[in-house]
Structure 1
Amino acid sequence: MPHCIVEFSQNLAQELPPMDLLEAVRDAAIASNLFTQEDIKLRAMPYKSFLTAGKEDAFIHVTLRMLSGRTEAQKQQVSQLVLDALIEFSLKDVSFTVEVCDMDRETYSKKVVLSS
């Protein structure tokens, strides 16, 4: 855990490969000392159509969905680490946002099916 979902305006893919975004988010999550690399699930979703304040302004939004039970300080720390990692790319005219969402432990289900 966590599930890290990176949403971004498709026009950024020309300047920044999506794998670079995923690796930066992964490294920031590891730096929080809340997760190991094996715990982290990452995916990127480019958006072809988008409006920010009525314009097609570039954006990167990261949602970190993690099991409930973390303190507010821990959630704020990982959020800030991810935001700092995104800003390191030195992109211009881009809106960066990070959101941490709790997943209810009591209702979360998981099953990994492996090939034989």
Structure 2
Amino acid sequence: MPHCIVEYSQNLAQEVPPADWLEAVKSACVASTLFAETDIKLRSTPYKSFVTGGQEDAFVHVTVRLLSGRSLEQRQQLSHLVLESLTQFSLKNVSFSVEIGEMERESYAKTVVLS
């Protein structure tokens, strides 16, 4: 756990390969010491159509969904580390944002089906 979802404007894929966004977010999650690397789930979604303030501005937004129980301080540190990891790329005119969301531990369900 956590589930990290990287949403980004498709025009950025020419400058930063999607795998690089995922690696940056994973590194930030590992640096937080809240998760084992093997527990981090990552995925990305490019957006072809997007408008911010009436303009087609480039963006990267990361949502990190984790089980409830972490302190506000831990969630703030994670948010800061992920944001820092995004800004390492030499991009201009891009909006970066990070959202930490909690999944209720009591109602979360998971199963792994193996062959």
TM-score, normalisation: structure 2: 0.99
Query: Is 1:9 aligned with 2:9?
Result: yes
Equivalent residue, structure 2, for 1:20: 20
Identity between Structure 1 and Structure 2 (%): 66
- 1:5, CA displacement in angstroms? 0.2
Query: Is 1:34 aligned with 2:34?
Result: yes
Partner deviation per Cα, 1:80-113 (whole Å, 9 max, x = no partner): 0000000010210000000000000010000000
Equivalent residue, structure 2, for 1:110: 110
Query: Is 1:71 aligned with 2:74?
Result: no
TM-score, normalisation: structure 1: 0.98
Tell me how large the CA RMSD over aligned residues is: 0.4
**CA–CA distance in 2 between the matches of 1:27 and 1:41?**
12
**CA–CA distance in 2 between the matches of 1:70 and 1:91?**
32
Equivalent residue, structure 2, for 1:83: 83
What number of residue pairs does the alignment pair up? 115
Gaps of 5+ in 1: none
Q: What residue identity is the alignment partner of 2:6?
A: V
Gaps of 5+ in 2: none
Runs of 4+ in 1 over 2 A off after TM superposition: none
**CA–CA distance in 1 between the matches of 2:35 and 2:42?**
13
Partner deviation per Cα, 1:17-58 (whole Å, 9 max, x = no partner): 000000000000000000011110000000000001110000
